A and B are shown apart, each in its own frame.
Chain A
Amino acid sequence: DSGVTQTPKHLITATGQRVTLRCSPRSGDLSVYWYQQSLDQGLQFLIQYYNGEERAKGNILERFSAQQFPDLHSELNLSSLELGDSALYFCASSPRGTASTDTQYFGPGTRLTVL
């Protein structure tokens, strides 16, 4: 158990809909990362927050947005969903904001299925 929690575990929805994925980091960790993993794309970095502020942005679509709240939990919002958005979405947390030297602790993931 990494100490990172993600909800829900599974999510099934239809095209065009909007969903929110939630992540609670390990106690004391200030940084949260979001990743998308699909069969054909591997593990793709989406976005990182550090202590409530956006720190780094990866290949995140404009239809996707995220935020980190004062209690450090984070939410990833996916809108106008398409079939291709079906994937595993992982959240990770780390103590500081330096991704390259911090150990990232990954949550169990949310499996999103868009029908």
Chain B
Amino acid sequence: LAKTTQPISMDSYEGQEVNITCSHNNIATNDYITWYQQFPSQGPRFIIQGYKTKVTNEVASLFIPADRKSSTLSLPRVSLSDTAVYYCLVGAGSARQLTFGSGTQLTVLP
């Protein structure tokens, strides 16, 4: 069961790029890395998923080094509305293996 470690909180300013790194030292060969975003009192929302190298979609990029022991979620030019908790999940197959953990509270300041 891959355990993840993320910073508890991060602050940024509007318009900046934000990088949130997740450590997962014991990631297994068939594990995928998935990031979710959660606003207060709302359900988490899928942001991005990857297995290796780099994945980009319309809202974020995910960078995964060759050893896959960490991953970095990159949010370009954040706005106040990006203030939320960001969760890194690592696992393969069973939902039992996916733990949301405490996540990273990102606060975007004006």
**A contacts, CB < 8 Å to B:** 2, 4, 33, 35, 42-45, 48, 55-58, 88, 90, 92, 98-101, 103-109, 111
Contacts and interface: CB of A to CB of B under 8 A. Distances in A.
Contact of A109 (B32, B34, B42): B42
- For chain B, the bracket of interface size reads 20 to 34
B41 interface: yes
B43 A109 contact: yes
A2 B98 contact: no
Contact of A90 (B34, B43, B89, B94): B43
Interface string B87-103: 10101111111111111
B29 to A, nearest CB: 13
B49 interface: yes
Given A106-B43, A109-B41, A100 B34 contact: yes
Contacts of B96: 45, 48, 56-58
A2 B43 contact: yes
Nearest to B101: A42
Given A56-B96, A106-B45, A109-B42, A99 B102 contact: no
Nearest to A59: B96
Interface in B74-96: 87, 89, 91-96
Contacts of B91: 99-100
A103 B49 contact: yes
Given A42-B102, A45-B98, A100 B92 contact: yes
